[in-house]
Amino acid sequence: MLENNITTVNNDVKTLVKDAQALFSAAAALTGEKADEVRVKGMKTLDAALVKAHEAQAAAIVSAKEIASQADGYVKENPWRTVALAAGVGVLAGFILGRK
């Protein structure tokens, strides 16, 4: 679920940035009042992209804190299982690195 949200926000931000780039390119060819309108529209688009990026960052931080809390709870409830798992991963990593 988190991965889908991140992908969606990432795509939205990319689209907004591309739109802003197109607007600024168009504004470079224009002069006067029309150019100012296009620049303002481009700035609003970039601001929207920044807001989306900040929202995605905030959501990622909240999710990471929830995952860390769950991991902490698991370790406290299952200390020996956690030690055994860590030891197993260490032995496996040592075996793989020792073969090279």
Q: Are 55 and 13 spatial neighbours (Cβ–Cβ below 8 Å)?
A: no
Which of residues 15 and 95 earns the better pLDDT score? 95
Integer Cα distance of 58 and 5 in angstroms: 12
pLDDT tens-digit readout, 28-55: 676 777 777 877 777 787 788 788 888 8
| 19 vs 98: CA distance, rounded Å | 52
Torsion of CA 84, 89, 91, 93, to 10 degrees: -170
Displacement of CA 63 from its chain's centroid (Å): 11
Average pLDDT on 71-93 reads 91
Say which residue the tokens 């929202």 belong to: 55
Max CA-CA distance within the chain? 72
Asked whether the beta carbons of 53 and 13 are under 8 A apart, the reply is yes
DSSP 59: H
pTM: 0.54
